[in-house]
Chains A and B, each alone.
Chain A
Amino acid sequence: MKKHFSVLIALVALLAFVAAPVFAQGATEATKAAGPTTIELWYGAAITEAGPPPSDWVGFQIIKDKLNIDLKLTALPSNESDQDVKIQAAAAANNLPDLFMVRRDVLTRLVPQGLIAPVDGLYEKMPVRTATHYDAVSKNHAKFNGKTYGLADPGSIIKNEGLLIRKDWLENLGLSVPTTTDELLNVMRAFTENDPDGNGKNDTWGYGSFQEINNYEAWPGRRLEPIFGAFGVEGTWNMTAANAGLSILKPEFYNAMVYLKKMVDEGVMDPNWLAYKKDDFRAAWKQGRFGIMREQNAAFAAQSNYAPFDKNFPEGEWMIIDPPKGPTGKASVGPYTANFRLYAISAKAAKEGKSEKIAELLEWMASDEGYYLLGWGVEGVNYTKDANGIPVAKNLPNADLAFSAPGGQTVTQLRNMVFYNGDIELYARYPKYITETSKKEMSALVVLRDMQTRTWTPAIGSDTLPIPNADLKRFYEQGLSEFITGKRTLTSENWTKWLDEFKKLGGQDWNDKGVAFAKENNLLN
């Protein structure tokens, strides 16, 4: 009996011992009104694989001393669906944090619930930040019923992608740069069948892509926009005043589908394209699987991203080309809209009177001190300034802590709250460098400027148009993919029938609502 009793006591003791930490609150503690204001910030990490800022990060102390704010940080999950679930669950329990990053689609659902505070009055409290971060388009981006419900910070730079082709493959096969869709098809065929890398193996394809969809670039998504642009049906919406409406309802869309299907049927597109996720696609071009792609400037040309390709193919070289012209002479890399990262303030926080403090915090982030601290770290530890005042990763006592090295990642996780694509940033983020193996001079900034000169289709605000119901969205995407994979035969007749069903299911409604919204908000060009 005693033995079992002592076992029981031991078990209870173990439970209690474990209970203490497992029931303990998280690292930072909430304090009452007299002390500093606690602000809970759910942020999207700049580099999700790296960890969060350490608990002894100098930023916490500075913010407490200068602004009397106790900042509690929570990193949102790296996956967008997980982010949405976490935010929506907190919303359902009326437990949203004070300041949080949120996607526009989710914000659209939270506003009618009365969970988000309007921010119109805060712009004048943040003069420096508003001047650099918030222009007219930004203020309209999260406007619902006349009030703005989110601070739309600048996201990625516009027009930062381009159509790239393997220059060395063209030279090896004696081909010239394709300028029309027909020429493009021939080049793709040559890349697939004529062993452009000369390794004697049948392991190359013409075009490479993966399904990257968002609410203004519908299936098959961003990577294939140059193809659809050749037919004038790039993007989900046609934003011209003359021809406004869903691209899918335009007759040219069928022609674009026919071309795409040809690409797939002839096997000139990397057959893994339907199965790739973003990582796999990027790994694939670094392994020389295909010769034509649409890629982002930094993902292509930044040092750590280009290095594997450089090592594998020192002779390899990509060049940026104009998007191909279609049968009617149209061409476009794709639609572009201002990209924003939205930050919302919960109604709960506003009721507790925290809006002013939040504005103070954001304004401080836009000041010189906050900008450099959150963007690059501590001067002399994580960066030094060169002759032009651009932060560089040179002359540091501990090179591992440089802002561009893995060691410096944790202290700059909040940088997407301060960056606004200003010149200093671009020079710092995209420095010139010499590649290791082939000794080429590369610069993601040069690549960016080149990409921005090509033909793009303005579609500002197309990402604020009404989104379709989940089932309609599925019908849309599923149908298109079935036409391409051959599950549905792509004939004029089938296409019309499918479109009719689409319209009946709500497609026509969606189209009309979108056009009306665009007209109301002066989004048409």
Chain B
Amino acid sequence: MPIAIVKKRDRQVIREIKRHKSVYLLLIVPLVYYVIFKYVPIFNGQIAFKDYMALDGVLGSKWIGLTHFKTFISSYYFGELLRNTLMYSVGKLLFSLPLAIILAITIYECNRPHLRKIVQTLSYLPHFLSWVIMYGILLALLAPGDGVLNDIIKLFGGKPIDFLTNTNAFPWIVIFSDAWKEMGWSAIIFIAALMGIDPSLFEAALVEGANSWQRVRYITLPSIRPVILIVVLLRLGTILDAGFNQIFMLYSTPVLSVADIIDTWVYRQGLLEFQFGLATAVGLFKGVIGMFLILGSNKLVKRFGGNSLF
């Protein structure tokens, strides 16, 4: 490439940077924070490749390369863990997220102020319940002996179902209870997005004779598309985080085959057994997969003309 053109491009870039000088000023403090609190731990994360001994520290521990990764991938339950993790992650994404969006839109579109206010207030309350108490609630509802749901089933002459300890029912319980708990809270961000839609758009649509369905389809949904995309992309990046707190509280021995996810395995195998290198290695493994997914879906989003992550 001709030198003259290259130099001109460099000069342009430098000019741009100078023009944005005060922007970079704004950036300094958050960036320093980021380096300290996000990247130094990544540096410490090299223990994933080491046999970590507390007295030797991060730098002094012995290098063992990919041993931890091999241990994880070749472990007895690896395939099952991966399957369960994805099952819950994708399941929640496909179920809870659309529900949250629908909830946000219906709250926005509801014409009865009382119904709307009550639902909006109540819907986010479950988010504040910890999974410890959720377990109690679910037990009261679903216990095979005297759960409310089973009482109703018995009333109709059916046989009580052991929802929490049955491998067929358990995954549904996880997904539904997560939706119940988080739907209202997740809807908040979409409601905030809906609040930002220019009302004149709706007026224009009305004048043109659009009915409510068309209004939602052609105006409401597309207007909040950027937020939806961001949320989906971010969740894809952490696809292998299937909700440790929930599973940890809800699972028990009889349903291990469908309940054990990567994080609960790491908790038992890595944390409780002082295998911190292994635990960190699994974290990196999840990160690699997440990175691929984000990069891939980011490209897809760009191709379809949406606001991408980067």
Check B274–A113 contact: CB distance below 8 A: yes
Known contacts A92-B54, A94-B54; decide if A470 and B269 are in contact (CB<8 Å): yes
Known contacts A94-B57, A470-B269, A482-B257; decide if A289 and B274 are in contact (CB<8 Å): no
Minimal beta-carbon separation of A282 from chain B (angstroms): 14
Check B55–A113 contact: CB distance below 8 A: yes
- Chain B interface size, under 10 / 10 to 19 / 20 to 34 / 35 or more: 35 or more
CA distance A367 to B244 in the complex (A): 46
CA distance A113 to B273 in the complex (A): 12
Check A482–B268 contact: CB distance below 8 A: no
CA distance A270 to B139 in the complex (A): 14
Q: Which of A81, A109, A219 contacts B274 (CB 8 A)?
A: A109
Task: Count chain A CB atoms within 10 A of each CB in B54, B77, B139, B268 and give the residue with the most.
Answer: B54
Check B55–A94 contact: CB distance below 8 A: yes
Minimal beta-carbon separation of A103 from chain B (angstroms): 10
Minimal beta-carbon separation of B153 from chain A (angstroms): 13
Q: Which of A106, A280, A471 contacts B76 (CB 8 A)?
A: A471
Contact code string A66-91 (vs B, CB < 8 Å = 1, else 0): 00000000000000010011001001
Minimal beta-carbon separation of B251 from chain A (angstroms): 11
- Which of B30-38, B158-166, B234-242 participates in binding chain A? B158-166
Check B55–A471 contact: CB distance below 8 A: no
- Which of B143-151, B204-212, B219-227 participates in binding chain A? B143-151
Which residue of chain B lies nearest to A471 when distances are taken between CB atoms in the complex?
Answer: B76
CA distance A482 to B259 in the complex (A): 13
Whether A251 sits at the interface, judged by CB under 8 Å, is no
Whether B263 sits at the interface, judged by CB under 8 Å, is no
Whether B252 sits at the interface, judged by CB under 8 Å, is yes
Which residue of chain B lies nearest to A269 when distances are taken between CB atoms in the complex?
Answer: B145
Check B274–A88 contact: CB distance below 8 A: yes
Whether A437 sits at the interface, judged by CB under 8 Å, is no
Whether A397 sits at the interface, judged by CB under 8 Å, is no
Check B254–A481 contact: CB distance below 8 A: yes
Check A289–B253 contact: CB distance below 8 A: no
Minimal beta-carbon separation of A82 from chain B (angstroms): 11
Check A92–B276 contact: CB distance below 8 A: yes
Count A/B pairs, Cβ under 8 Å: 103
- B125-146 with Cβ < 8 A to chain A: 135, 139, 143-146
Minimal beta-carbon separation of A121 from chain B (angstroms): 22
CA distance A299 to B254 in the complex (A): 27
Which residues on the B side are within 8 Å of A92 (C-beta)?
Answer: 52, 54, 274, 276
Q: Which of B57, B145, B268 contacts A205 (CB 8 A)?
A: B145
Which residues on the B side are within 8 Å of A109 (C-beta)?
Answer: 273-274
Contact code string B45-69 (vs A, CB < 8 Å = 1, else 0): 0000000111101000000000000
- B40-98 with Cβ < 8 A to chain A: 52-55, 57, 75-77
- A101-130 with Cβ < 8 A to chain B: 105-106, 109-110, 113-115
Whether B246 sits at the interface, judged by CB under 8 Å, is no
Minimal beta-carbon separation of A88 from chain B (angstroms): 6
Whether B192 sits at the interface, judged by CB under 8 Å, is no
Which residue of chain A lies nearest to B160 when distances are taken between CB atoms in the complex?
Answer: A271
Minimal beta-carbon separation of A205 from chain B (angstroms): 7
Which residues on the A side are within 8 Å of B115 (C-beta)?
Answer: none
Known contacts A275-B144, A280-B139, A481-B253; decide if A475 and B164 are in contact (CB<8 Å): no
Known contacts A271-B162, A475-B76; decide if A88 and B271 are in contact (CB<8 Å): yes
Which residue of chain B lies nearest to A79 when distances are taken between CB atoms in the complex?
Answer: B132
Check A91–B268 contact: CB distance below 8 A: no
Which residue of chain A lies nearest to B271 when distances are taken between CB atoms in the complex?
Answer: A85
Which residue of chain A lies nearest to B154 when distances are taken between CB atoms in the complex?
Answer: A202
Minimal beta-carbon separation of A351 from chain B (angstroms): 11
Check B165–A84 contact: CB distance below 8 A: no
Known contacts A471-B75, A505-B76; decide if A91 and B160 are in contact (CB<8 Å): no
Which residue of chain B lies nearest to A115 when distances are taken between CB atoms in the complex?
Answer: B54
CA distance A205 to B160 in the complex (A): 15
Which residues on the A side are within 8 Å of B143 (C-beta)?
Answer: 271-272, 275
Known contacts A109-B274, A274-B165, A487-B167; decide if A474 and B144 are in contact (CB<8 Å): no
Which residue of chain B lies nearest to A280 when distances are taken between CB atoms in the complex?
Answer: B139
Which residue of chain A lies nearest to B55 when distances are taken between CB atoms in the complex?
Answer: A114
Check B252–A211 contact: CB distance below 8 A: yes
Whether B5 sits at the interface, judged by CB under 8 Å, is no
CA distance A41 to B304 in the complex (A): 60
CA distance A481 to B254 in the complex (A): 5
Known contacts A272-B143, A272-B144; decide if A487 and B254 are in contact (CB<8 Å): yes
CA distance A203 to B164 in the complex (A): 20
Which residue of chain B lies nearest to A275 when distances are taken between CB atoms in the complex?
Answer: B164
The 3 closest A-B pairs by CB, nearest first: A109-B274, A271-B144, A274-B165
Interface contacts beyond A274-B164, A478-B253: sample of 8 additional A-B pairs, CB < 8 Å, sorted by A: A84-B271, A114-B53, A272-B145, A274-B254, A275-B143, A471-B76, A478-B256, A485-B162
Measuring CB to CB, which residues of chain B are less than 8 angstroms from any residue of chain A? 52-55, 57, 75-77, 135, 139, 143-146, 160, 162, 164-167, 252-254, 256-257, 260, 265, 267-269, 271-274, 276
